[in-house]
Structure formats: structure tokens, C-alpha cells
Amino acid sequence: MAEEKLPTRAQDFSEWYNQLVIKAQLADYAPVRGCMVVRPYGWALWENIQQALDRRFKATGHQNVAFPMLIPRSFIDKEKSHVEGFSPELAVVTIGGGEELAEPLVIRPTSETIIGHMWSKWIQSYRDLPVLMNQWNSVVRWELRTKLFLRTLEFYWQEGHTAHATREEAEAETRQMLDIYADFAVNDAAIPVIPGRKSDAEKFAGAETTYSIEAMMGDGKALQSGTSHFLGQNFAQAFEVRYLDQTGQLQHCWTTSWGLSTRIIGAIIMVHGDDQGLVLPPKLAPYQAVIVPIFKTDEEKATVIEVARKIKADLAKSEIRVTLDEREGMSPGWKFNDWEMRGVPVRIELGPKDVAKQAAVLARRDRPGREGKISVALGDIVTSVASLLGEIQKSMHDRALAFRQANTHATASKDDLKTAVENGFASAFWCGSPDCEAAIKEETRATMRCIPMDQPADSGPCVYCAKPATSRAIFARAY
């Protein structure tokens, strides 16, 4: 069963990515152009992401809800900048039950408008605040250029929506959720991210301020991996979301929204993957360990499989996600390659000689070849695998961080910036002028990714116009 090899990342990063998503059985193309079918392996990865985030959301007081996917067209039109931002991407239903609808319905591109409408009925007094909600759903945005997980017409995500009595509370919520996304990215996805504020040109349609976490992919491009929006009172005014304050005065609420989508799966693939395939962080991998039995005769098979099943049971009892590959008609070597391509963090190799020695070989996915292999006693296998998973998680983050640092350059001139964004990030002083930002984009095809929260104390001339600037921004080409 010879498998075609993936193109290398150096040869064609984009094609490496496309083929890997299909071959690793994460997702496939749907019959509708621009849509995707998420396969069980990809969905298991998404479920682990959901659980890691959901736990954090609930710990900070948020509750899950479900709003409909069909939204009256007039709702979208109520918030001026929101409709301008989303109009080109809307999918609109005009016929239902065989009859033309009196009012067209929009398939949800995001839910601020319908939530604003419902809040106007539910929120009456300061006692009803804050409202802290989140929903897990899919949304539709009519994208022209699509790529599995990174940009599809329909995608899965969570969208958080909150309403507050004061600007300060809403701003604190916006920043708190950005911190939660960064914590998840670093500690669960093993992806170092830069949290920062978007420029006005790059912010969400209808937001006062948008924050994002930005990650560097394996080809040096940026990927926006989660966003948190301070919406001010824009949606509250459009939908009359008001409350009686403690003095009996009617006030508009201050609202936020924040989201992280299946695009993070694309980030995990592109940050950690290598020429052999996926390399999945242990905390999120559908399987943290795979046992591959090795035997030639039926007698060897009986002995090895019995021990392999016991190892599987012991690991599962310790809540390690494990699978035993008992597929017939495939050589151990073929199975090694298959599980390497699918990114399982630890492979456990077990043959008759190992059983005789009461040992097994552990192979780390993040260090291919002999360097990543160790032999451990069967009696220690649970603690050895658990400890190895922790090591791999940390080592994956550290490697990704070292890569980002090596490919981020402080730039002081236009020419430096142009060179830096060819295959990495440029950190540069920016005066805040939208004209400079637009000119940089025009000349380099790089966008201003964010103004990092972490700013140096110094100041300097703007990289484009040389006027005084107090903030450094990150510029990069992006997905």
C-alpha cells in the first residue's frame, strides 16, 4: 500500500497544507464550492479545542445559549458600519415553503444583531447586568477564495456576546477574553501568539476597538487566530438595549463580542507540521498515543496483541487518549508512517523481543528518527507516556517561539520592512496614520496585524513617513 508522499513545505507550502488536510482525514471538500466536510479525526480535534475553551468561559461566568441561524434582513441594516462590512458576504434566503418571503432572511454571518434584538426585551434594569453569553455554532460568509479550515464559506466557531452597565466593565471583558484566547493558544495549542489591538482599517465592522491574537505560520505568514471586540454602545443604540440605572435614568448598555473558529486547526497544522505530516500538541490531539504491534507469526501475534491490549487499558484508565492499531494487511512500517502523518504525539512500538524484555519503545512525533525513541519498562509505561506528553507539549511551544523570534525583524526603513515581510514579521514604529498603513499594504502586500499589548518604552520615527511614533506595530503577509 504505497502512499504518495506529501510535497515538502519548502517546495510548496500551500499544496503541502491542502494535501495534508485531506490525507490526514481532517476534512474534505463539500459538493458546495467553498464548504468543507469535517471528518471524525478533524472533529475530535475541534471537540478538544471546544472543551479547553468552554472550561475557561464557564470559569469566568459565561453561559452557553443558542440563537437561530436565520436573521431578518432588516436587522443587519440597523447598524450602519456592520451592514457595510458584511453586505458583500451575506447569503440571503428569499423563498421558504415554496413561497417568496415577505422579508428576506440572512443566514447568520455573526449574531450581534439578533442578540441585540432579544436583549432589548430581556434587559430592563441594572440588576439584569452583566449578561455573559456564548454560543457554539456555524456561520456563513460568502468567501470567494477559500482554503480548508482557514477560510470557508461556512465555518464552525464560538461567538461570545456580553452586555454591561459601564464602558470600563465592557472594556475589561474584551481584554479578559483576549487573555483567555492567548492562554489557550500558548498552553493548549502550543502556539506562541502576539496579543494586540487592530488598526481602524482592520477592525470588526461595528466595533469601537478590536483586539486579536496573531500567530506566525511555518512559512512566515501571519494568521489571525482569535478576536475580541469592544462594541461600545453601537449595537445597543441600534437595537435599543437599555437599562434603568440606580438613579432611575435610562442608559444604553455597553457590549462586547469575541470569537475563535476552526481556523485555529489551520494554525495548529501550519505552526507545528513537518514534511512527514501533522504534529499535534498532546493536550488537543484526538489520540495522544498509538500502539503499533509488531509480529510475523500467529504465535507472536497472540503474545504481542495480549500485552498491547493491556497497555491500552492501563493508559485509558489513566485518561490518556490511546488507540491500538490492529488493522490487518498493513505492515508496521506503513502504520508508523500513517500515524506520523496524522500527528499522534507518542507511538508505542511493541514486538516479541520487547514483550520478552517486558519493555516497549516510545517514539516521539516531534523528534522523528532515532533521537526521539526510548525503551521503557512495561511497569512504568503509564508514567513514562504521561511525562513524555508533558515534555512534547512544552518542546512544541518552545520550538514555535524560537522560529517566530528568528523570523521577526525590527525594521527602521521601508526597504527593511519590505525585506522582512517576504518571509516573516516586521516590527516597526508606526505613527497611527491610515495613509501610511494603506501605502505599506499597497507596496508590500503586508497588513498591519496588530499593535502588540507589550510595547517597548522607547519611541522612534514612523517606518513609512518618519514622523514621531510611540507604538510599534507588527506587519506581515497573512492568510
Chain segment 164-223, per-residue pLDDT in tens: 999 999 999 999 999 999 999 999 999 999 999 999 999 998 899 999 999 999 999 999
Angle between helices 263-272 and 40-59 (to 10 degrees): 110
Mean pLDDT calculated for residue range 334-354:
98
User: Which parts of 143-273 are beta strand (E)?
Assistant: 154-164, 194-197, 209-216, 222-232, 242-244, 250-252, 254-261
Q: How far apart are alpha carbons 95 and 101 in whole angstroms?
A: 5
Angle between helices 381-406 and 298-317 (to 10 degrees): 70
110 CB-near residues (< 8 Å, 6+ apart): 86, 139, 159, 257, 259
Q: Amino acid identity, residue 237?
A: Q
Is the omega angle on the peptide bond into residue 130 within 30 degrees of 0, that is, cis? yes
What is the pLDDT at residue 86? 76
For 73-117, what is each residue's pLDDT tens digit? 999 888 777 767 777 899 999 999 999 999 999 999 999 999 999
For 382-426, what is each residue's pLDDT tens digit? 999 999 999 999 999 999 999 999 999 999 999 999 999 999 999
Does 48 have pLDDT greater than 70?
A: yes
DSSP class of residue 127 equals G
What is the pLDDT at residue 2? 47
Q: How far apart are alpha carbons 25 and 98 in whole angstroms?
A: 38
Q: How far apart are alpha carbons 389 and 384 in whole angstroms?
A: 9
For β-strands 63-64 and 131-140, DSSP reports them as: parallel
Does 330 have pLDDT greater than 80?
A: yes
Q: Does domain 408-476 have CATH number 3.30.110.30?
A: yes
Q: How far apart are alpha carbons 213 and 226 in whole angstroms?
A: 6
Question: pLDDT tier at 3 (50, 70, 90 boundaries)?
Answer: low
- Mean pLDDT is lowest, of 1-10, 389-398, 462-471, for 1-10
For β-strands 460-461 and 373-377, DSSP reports them as: unpaired
For 121-160, what is each residue's pLDDT tens digit? 999 999 999 999 999 999 999 988 899 999 999 999 999 9
Partnered with residue 151 across adjacent β-strands are 147
What is the pLDDT at residue 1? 45
Measured CA angle at 137 (ends 135, 138), to 5 deg: 145
Q: Give the pTM.
A: 0.96
Maximum distance among all alpha carbons in the chain? 84
Tell me the CATH architecture of domain 289-388: 3-Layer(aba) Sandwich (3.40)
Domain ranges of the chain: 13-272, 289-388, 408-476
DSSP class of residue 371 equals G
Decide: helix, strand or coil at residue 108: coil
For 226-275, what is each residue's pLDDT tens digit? 999 999 999 999 999 999 999 999 999 999 999 999 999 999 999 999 99
The residue to which cell 456564548 is assigned = 134
Domain 13-272: assigned CATH number: 3.30.930.10
Decide: helix, strand or coil at residue 373: strand
* Averaged pLDDT of the chain: 96
Burial group, residue 98, by CB count within 10 angstroms (0-12, 13-18, 19+):
exposed
